[in-house]
């Protein structure tokens, strides 16, 4: 069995893969309680979501390890889970069952496209700076949601938004949680986010915000309230095509960006290589996981950038992913602990993850950027948080980019892929 993973060929061994899997587990364990809180805001039972999140993480990560033999772990993606809850369900008043149908359809399309050379077409058609702007915009969006949920930012009739009451205990706890998470990340502490959640929770329990759990472990909660409750028929609506497109494109960009970063350290995923089998198989696993996750009752599943932590520990094969999946089995039995976490200890993670995604702007080539790219990046980043919609920001960015390129006489710089996405993006505003 171990021969399948080709440990010696990739310069690794069993002990290294084990430690790498444990490291990846620690760095991304936070997603289980965080996703539970986020999707509970959409009306799904938190206990069921926590179990479903753990399950899809185990299944998707193990499947990828076996299918592609790469050290990439997968779980419910940050950003699209927030868009699922706050953009679709609460913002557009779409039932969560229909939202799951949207995720499923985008996953099926991704599955079909993953078995073609479409991924290479996307990588070469969309300018890198636009991809980075989308990542930064999603970062601003989820950070804004985190600040709002913590009541650090509140609604105001005169200025739309303003600072909340910073002397409230829950708000103070949230602020403390943000700086704890940032400090642990700066010092490169393994499992910085989950450790920050538990430290902030302990402070909150001491302040009387919630109470410690009577027990740390229990049997997993049933996922029957959310599993197989997706409404595909309702999702097959012309007005929802832009939303499906948003999930598809964002998932694809997230996956390609993550795999590019992880592959650079692991010697995998040579960008643009059509015959790159590990990349193709990892994208296939990612797509299958998204469709499966929607059936289980969670939002889009994607490759996790935290996989890079395991790679830094020497993980080079799918055995790292297998060990990560095995460690995640423990989270199935941590429901009492996760449910006892005060909300102000969870949402600081959204803010910090948003900050990290926003730093993608620093990689943009501002010195050689034309007005079309600059304007597109601006509208993409600004409109995602201001309109509470990834779709609006992405669409405005592509429409602006194409129009300004055409006006400035640079139509030859546009690929067919950009025209296609811009045309579909234009539908967003027509159907709005």
CA-CA distance, 373 to 317, in Å (whole number)? 38
CB atoms within 10 A of CB 297: 27
Tell me: pLDDT of 207 over 80. Answer: yes
Concatenated DSSP letters of 165-223 = -TTSHHHHHHHHHHHHHHHHHHTT-TTHHHHHHHHHHHHHHHTTSS---S-S--PPPP-
Mean pLDDT of 335-342: 95
For the stretch 342-376, pLDDT in tens is: 999 999 999 999 999 899 898 898 888 999 999 99
Strands (E), 264-399: 301-303
For the stretch 235-258, pLDDT in tens is: 999 889 889 988 988 888 778 778
Beta partners for residue 153, in sequence order: 163
Give residue limits of the domains in the chain. 13-359
Contact assessment for residue 169 and residue 207, using Cβ atoms and an 8 Å cutoff:
yes
For the stretch 90-125, pLDDT in tens is: 999 999 999 999 999 999 998 998 877 776 666 567
């Amino acid at each position: 069995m171990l021969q399948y993973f080709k440990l010696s060929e990739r310069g690794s061994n069993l002990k290294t893969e084990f430690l790498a899997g444990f490291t990846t587990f620690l760095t991304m364990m936070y997603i289980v309680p965080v996703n539970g809180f986020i999707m509970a805001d959409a009306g799904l039972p938190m206990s069921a979501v926590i179990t479903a999140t753990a399950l899809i993480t185990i299944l998707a990560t193990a499947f990828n390890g076996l299918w592609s033999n790469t050290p990439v772990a997968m779980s419910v993606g940050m950003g699209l889970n927030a868009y699922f809850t706050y953009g679709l369900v609460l913002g557009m008043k779409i039932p969560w069952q229909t939202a799951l149908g949207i995720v499923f359809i985008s996953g099926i399309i991704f599955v079909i496209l993953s078995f073609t050379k479409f991924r290479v077409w996307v990588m070469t058609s969309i300018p890198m700076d636009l991809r980075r702007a989308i990542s930064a915009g999603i970062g601003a969006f989820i950070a804004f949601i985190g600040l709002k949920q913590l009541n650090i930012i509140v609604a105001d009739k005169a200025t739309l938004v303003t600072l909340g009451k910073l002397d409230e205990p829950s708000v103070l706890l949230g602020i403390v949680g943000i700086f704890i998470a940032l400090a642990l990340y700066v010092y490169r502490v393994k499992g910085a986010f989950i450790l920050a959640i538990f430290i902030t929770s302990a402070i909150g329990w001491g302040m009387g915000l919630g109470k410690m759990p009577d027990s740390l472990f229990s049997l997993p909660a049933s996922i029957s309230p959310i599993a197989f409750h997706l409404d595909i028929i309702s999702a097959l609506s012309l007005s929802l095509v832009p939303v499906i497109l948003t999930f598809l494109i964002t998932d694809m960009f997230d996956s390609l960006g993550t795999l590019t970063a992880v592959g650079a350290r692991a010697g995998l995923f040579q960008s643009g290589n059509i015959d790159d089998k590990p990349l193709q198989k990892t994208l296939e696993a990612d797509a299958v996981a998204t469709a499966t996750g929607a059936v289980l009752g969670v939002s889009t599943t994607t490759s996790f950038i935290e996989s890079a932590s395991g790679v830094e520990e020497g993980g080079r094969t799918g055995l790292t992913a297998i060990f990560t999946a095995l460690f995640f089995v423990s989270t199935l039995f941590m429901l009492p602990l996760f449910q006892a976490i005060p909300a102000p200890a969870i949402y600081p993670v959204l803010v910090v993850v948003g900050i990290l995604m926003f730093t993608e702007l620093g990689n943009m080539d501002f010195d050689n950027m034309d007005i079309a790219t600059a304007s597109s990046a601006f509208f993409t980043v600004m409109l995602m948080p201001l309109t509470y919609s990834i779709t609006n920001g992405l669409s405005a960015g592509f429409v602006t980019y194409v129009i300004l390129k055409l006006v400035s006489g640079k139509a030859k710089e546009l690929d067919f892929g950009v025209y296609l996405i811009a045309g579909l993006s234009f539908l967003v505003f027509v159907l709005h």
